[in-house]
Chains A and B, each alone.
Chain A
C-alpha cells in the first residue's frame, strides 16, 4: 500500500471508530436516562469515612456535594425520598466542613418547605448550632421550626432568645422571644430574659424599649395570674367574683398586683375578663402556623 493509501485507511478507520464511539455513548446515556441526578449519588458514604478519604481536600468534596444538593433541591417536584437523600447529603457536607453555615441555613429551610421533614431540619440546625455557636440565624431558624411547625412556643422562645443574644441578631428578636414566652404561658421567663438583656445593653434607646416591653410582660404575667385566680374562684364558689378584691378576701391571692405603668387592672364581671387600664391589647404572637 502506498503511503497515501495508508494515510487514507488510517484516517477512515479513525473516523469510523469515533462515530461508533459516539453512537455507543448516546445509547448508554439513553439507557441511564431514567436514573435521576440525585440517585447517582444515592449510596453516599459515611461523612466520617469520606473525610478521611479526602486526604485534606474535604472542603472541595463538600463543595461538590453541595452543588449536587442544590441541583436536587431545584427539581420541580422534590419527592419524599429525595428529601431524605438531601438530609443525608447535608449531614455529610457538614461533617466534611462543619463551618459551612450556608448549608445549615438553606438545608434547614429546604427540609421544611420543599419537603416537610421537620425532625431532619431540626437535626441539621442543631448540628449547625453545635459547630457554629456564634451564628444567630441557626437558633433563629430552629426556633421558627418549633413555633411554625411544632407549635411549641416555649422551645421556640428559648431558641429565639438564644439567637437574640448573638452578634448581628436584629433587635426585634428579643421582642419576638418575649411574645413567645408569654404565649407559652411563661411570662416570668420573659421577664428574666428581658432583665438580662437590659443589664447587658448600654444603648439608652434600646434600654427604653426594653423597659417598655418589660412592663408589658409584667402586665401579661399579672393578667395570667388574675385569670387563674378567677377560674379557681369559680371552681370554689360556682360563680364569678364580683370585684377583683374578692380574690384577696377569699384567700386566693395574697394581694392584688400593682399595674407597672401606674394604671389599674380592670375587671368586667360580665365577661369575667381582666385588662390593664394602660394597655389597649394583650401581648401575643401575630402570625400563622402550619396546621397540624
Chain B
C-alpha cells in the first residue's frame, strides 16, 4: 500500500512540475470573462448561464486533463525507459499502475477543488445562491473523471499515447450516447443485433449517469440515493477497468 502511495505522490509532483494546473488560469479567465460579458448580453437569466458555464467548464477541463494526462501515465514511462528503474525496485507492476492512477486522481481532485472554489466565488460575487444540487453535480463530475482516467490508463497500458488518446476520446463520446444505443436496440427486430447492442450498452461506461448539471442548475431535487448509486457505479466501473489494466500490464513484455 505504501508503495502505491509513494508512486501516487510522485505522479502528483511530476504533474505539478509539468504545469498542469496552468489550465486553471484559463478556467478563471473563461468564467470571469463570460460572466461579465453575458450579464450585458442576456436578460434575467445570468444566474443560470453562469452556473451552466461554470459546471460545463469544470467538467470539460477535467475531462481534457483526464484524457491527455491519463494516456501518458504508463506509456510515457515505457517510452522514456524509466519504467525499468522503477520495476527493478521491489515494486509490483500492479502497484505501479495503481499508484499512477491514484496520483492523477489526486491531481484531478486538487484541480477540481480549485475550480470549484473559483466557481463558488463567482456565484458569491454575483449573489447567486448555492444549491446542494451543485455539490452533487460536481461530485458526479469528479466520478466521471475517475472513470475516464481508468479507461485512459487501461489503453495506455498496452498501446501508444496517440492510439490511447483516440480510444479514450471515443469512449468518452460513446459514453454519453450509450442510452441511444439501447433505444436503437429496442427498435431492432433482429435478436442477435439486439443482444450485441445490449451487451455493448452494459460493457461501455454510461457517462450520462454522472451528468446532473441541468437539474442542479434548475434547482430540481436530485435524489441522494441516485447520487450514491451513480458514485458506486463509477467507482465499481473504474475498479473493474483498473483490474483489467493490471492483468494486461502484468503480462506485458517490455523490450
* Interface set of A (CB-CB < 8 Å, partner B): 52, 55-60, 62-63, 66-67, 70-71, 97, 99-100, 102, 106
Q: Which residues of A contact B42 (CB under 8 A)?
A: 63, 66-67, 70
Cα(A70)–Cα(B42), bound, Å:
7
* Interface set of B (CB-CB < 8 Å, partner A): 38, 41-45, 48-49, 52-53, 56, 59-60, 172-173, 176-177, 180, 207-208, 211, 213-215, 217-218, 220
**A102 & B52 in contact (Cβ 8 Å cutoff):** no
Cα(A66)–Cα(B46), bound, Å:
12
Given contacts A52-B180, A99-B214, A99-B218, contact A66 B45 (CB under 8 A): yes
Q: Which residues of B contact A66 (CB under 8 A)?
A: 42, 45, 49
Question: Which residue from A55, A63, A71, A106 sits with its C-beta under 8 Å from B48?
Answer: A63
Q: Which residues of A contact B214 (CB under 8 A)?
A: 58-59, 97, 99
Given contacts A55-B173, A59-B214, contact A99 B220 (CB under 8 A): yes
Instruction: Tally inter-chain residue pairs, CB-CB below 8 A.
Output: 55
Cα(A127)–Cα(B22), bound, Å:
44
By beta carbon, the residue of chain B nearest A73 is B43
**B53 & A60 in contact (Cβ 8 Å cutoff):** yes
**B177 & A59 in contact (Cβ 8 Å cutoff):** no
Cα(A68)–Cα(B213), bound, Å:
22
By beta carbon, the residue of chain A nearest B180 is A52
Main SS at interface, chain A: helix
Cα(A97)–Cα(B51), bound, Å:
14
Question: What is the CB-to-nearest-CB distance from A53 to chain B, in angstroms, rounded to a whole number?
Answer: 10
**Further contacts, 5 of them, CB under 8 A, given A55-B177, A59-B217, A100-B45:** A52-B180, A59-B56, A59-B214, A97-B214, A99-B218
**B176 & A56 in contact (Cβ 8 Å cutoff):** yes
Cα(A100)–Cα(B44), bound, Å:
12
Question: What is the CB-to-nearest-CB distance from A197 to chain B, in angstroms, rounded to a whole number?
Answer: 28
Q: Which residues of B contact A97 (CB under 8 A)?
A: 214
Question: What is the CB-to-nearest-CB distance from A263 to chain B, in angstroms, rounded to a whole number?
Answer: 49
Cα(A52)–Cα(B184), bound, Å:
14
**A63 & B180 in contact (Cβ 8 Å cutoff):** no
Could you jot down 8 A-B contacts, CB within 8 Å? A56-B176, A56-B213, A59-B52, A63-B45, A63-B53, A70-B43, A97-B214, A99-B218
Cα(A183)–Cα(B221), bound, Å:
41
By beta carbon, the residue of chain A nearest B174 is A55
Q: Which residues of A contact B211 (CB under 8 A)?
A: 56
Cα(A97)–Cα(B52), bound, Å:
11
Q: Which residues of A contact B217 (CB under 8 A)?
A: 59
Question: What is the CB-to-nearest-CB distance from B53 to chain A, in angstroms, rounded to a whole number?
Answer: 6
Question: What is the CB-to-nearest-CB distance from B62 to chain A, in angstroms, rounded to a whole number?
Answer: 12
Cα(A32)–Cα(B22), bound, Å:
37
Cα(A60)–Cα(B49), bound, Å:
7
Cα(A106)–Cα(B208), bound, Å:
30
